[in-house]
Every structure is written in structure tokens, then in C-alpha cells.
Amino acid sequence: MIDELDLAFDEHADRTRPRHRRGRGGKKGSGKSGVAFLMAFILLAVLGGGVYFGYSKVKDFFVAADYSGEGTDPVQVTIAKNSTLTEIGNTLVDSDVVKSTKAFVNAAGENPRGKNIQSGTYKLRKQMAAKSAVTLLLDPKSRITSGVTITEGQTSMQIYATLSKATNIPVKDFQAAAKKPVEDLGVPDYWFKRRDNKPAATGSIEGFLFPDTYEFDPKLNAEQILKVMVDRFLTVTGDMQFADNVQNNLSVSPYEALIVASLSQAEAGVPKDLPKISRVAYNRAYKANMPLEFDVTANYWLELNGKGAKHSGKLTAAEIDDPKNPYNTKSKRGLPLGPIDNPGQAALQGAMQPAAGNWLYFVAIDKAGNSIFTNDYAQHQKNITQACKNGVPLC
């Protein structure tokens, strides 16, 4: 049987020759050749599979994971202001819009307008090809929010009205959300400390709603929106090292400097005068120990009581020197109870680094809003006369 099997491998075997078992000293048998061939084949297959598996892994490492197609379920995604492409990609991965940040960054890099993606909230779809996601993010029709601009010097009441119009959230919701700035909105309690031993407006958010253009997620409520603005204030003042610089260089508290920033923001007609007006406020409040006599504080009290602000020349003596007004700077010495508006970065910078000077008085000298400064009262009166001649509505 074995000889027959051996011969079966060779169609030309001479069947007339005697058949016998091959010993160890004979030629290598074809059976062992077959086994060797089979083993070699298996080995190559295993090696080949390993090479393929390794190639697949390497390929996956270099080729970013990506979905295909236009996506599935709709989803809203908010892109934060000043986000990098990597940060946008991370946001999209978190919302399962794209499969990997790398795929998104690559797709944005291949698009000529890929770096023009704006902040805001977008209507996208889950599990989109990165290229499709980039296309939608560049399509204005996909954007469902527009910027809400809060200008420098707006009071909290004015800001609530602006936000309400943009979001359809009632003003009363913003008023309610702002009642506890520390507990609910994240204003650190040290911001309400004063070094002049005067009380602080601890229940007021005034001064902490940073003026900027915001892209609010439509799902945010009033409290969350105000938190975004407070966070922006803390970021800006943190980057400026506002608190440290004020305490180390001016020997006043950050809150007092914030009050000064709000006063100069309201009084200045042009940005270049902000540091000078801040210096006047510091000089009068701390060096001369005299009332500030800033009419803008009377207007703030009128607004708090639901009355319209007036031009300085139209304020009555009773309104300017209302004894019930905690923001009164006509007869009360030093800084008022708290900020009277929400100053911008330039005003904060001016309060942090006021101009050098011994000025105690200033007045708008022309219709362009430029002010003139002096430390002499008689000269100040002459400046007022000149301002009236220049058509400034003071007289």
C-alpha cells in the first residue's frame, strides 16, 4: 500500500521494476518533499498575513479616521470664539460630527477657505465626512446665531435690553440671574473688597459684564449668558494682570480701580483721555480728599430708578446732589458705591496705568470730545468758558 502511494506521486514510475521500501540510505522521498512544501506554504501564509496586518496598522496610523457621506442625524454645535482648527476638530469629535480631529484639520487645510471658519452655532449632522463638515461650516446658511455686540460703557440695564432683543429672553430673567454675582455668576468675592473702608455694591453685577461681541448658544438661559460675560471679564483682566498691577502699583483694591475705569469710560469723549481722567479720579479721591463731582454718577442713579439719563447741562441741582444716592459724587468724598457701567479694556488699562499728572479738573473742550486738564481752579473756569465758545453744550 505504501509503495502504491509512493508511486502515485509519479505518473512515469516504471511499474515493472521491483518495488521495495526505501531505507534511510536511499534517495529523499517525495512524501517528505510534500510535507516540506506544505509547511513552507503555511509559513509563507502566516508571514504574509503578518505583513498585511502590520501594513494595515501602519496605514491606519498615517491615514486619519474619517466617516463617509453627508452624515445622519442633525445636531447643533457651537464653535467658541478664536478657536483653532484643532480646537474646532475636537469640538466636532465630541459631538460625533467627524470621526477624528486629524481628518477635520486635513480637510480644512485642503479647502482654500478652511481657515475662515467663524465662531457661532451651526446646524450640522452626526457622522459626516470631514470634507462635508468643513463645507457646512463655511456655509452662512448653516449658522444659526449672529453676534451680539455689547459696547463699552453700557450699564447692566442697557445690556439686559440688548440681550433680550437678541435672544428673546425676558429682561426680568437677566435681572433675576444677576442678583447674586458671587454665588451664581462666578465673580470671585475678592473683587468686592475695598481698601478705602467704604461699602461695596456686593449685590450688583455692574462692571463685570465685559463689553464684546458674543456668539451665544441658543440653548443658554439668562444665567448662563451672564456667566459667559463674567468669564470674559475674568479672562481679560487676568491676562492684563489687572488685580496684581493695581494693588502693587496704585495701593488701591481691584474693585476701586474698576470703579475708576467705569467713571472714566462714562466721562471720556475720546480714548486717549481715559488714563488722564482716571488720574483725576485718583487725585481727587485719595490725594485731595475731595468729591469727584462727576455728573455721570447722578445719571446712573436716575437709570437705576427707572428714569432716563440726561445731558449734564440739563441735570437739576437736586438730581446732581441727591443725598439718597449712594453713587453721589457731588457732596460725598471719595469713590462711589460701585461701578456705574461696564468698561472696556482701554478704560481698564487706563485705570490700571493712569497718566502721570497732578490734575484735579477737566472739561470737554470741543465737539470732538477732547478734554483739557488742569490742577488750577481758576484755569478750569477759563477752560469751561472756552468750551462754551466752542459750542460744547455746558452752559
338-362 residue pLDDT tens: 999 999 999 999 999 999 999 999 9
* DSSP H or E segment with residue 6: helix 2-7
Residue 243 pLDDT class (50, 70, 90 cuts):
very high
- The 3-state DSSP class for residue 77 equals strand
Rg (CA), the chain: 38
Please give the average per-residue pLDDT across 150-156, as a whole number. 97
Grid cell, residue 88, equals: 474646532
Checking if the pLDDT of 151 tops 80, the result is yes
Residues with Cβ < 8 Å from 275, sequence gap 6 or more?
264, 349, 350, 353, 354, 355
| Whether the Cβ atoms of residue 115 and residue 160 lie closer than 8 Å to each other | no
Q: What's the mean pLDDT when you consider all of the chain?
A: 87
Please give the average per-residue pLDDT across 228-257, as a whole number. 97
Please give the average per-residue pLDDT across 194-215, as a whole number. 95
Identity (one letter) of the amino acid at 268? A
Q: What is the pLDDT of residue 219?
A: 85
Q: How far apart are CA 90 and CA 98, in angstroms?
A: 9
Checking if the pLDDT of 56 tops 60, the result is no
Identity (one letter) of the amino acid at 258? L
- The 3-state DSSP class for residue 339 equals coil
Q: How far apart are CA 189 and CA 192, in angstroms?
A: 6
Residue 80 pLDDT class (50, 70, 90 cuts):
confident
User: Helix axis angle, 85-94 relative to 101-110, nearest 10°?
Assistant: 130
Residue 14 pLDDT class (50, 70, 90 cuts):
very low
Residue 7 pLDDT class (50, 70, 90 cuts):
very low
Grid cell, residue 138, equals: 463655511
- The 3-state DSSP class for residue 115 equals helix
Number of alpha carbons in the 13 Å side-chain half-sphere of residue 37: 6
Q: What is the pLDDT of residue 82?
A: 86
Identity (one letter) of the amino acid at 244? D
Checking if the pLDDT of 259 tops 70, the result is yes
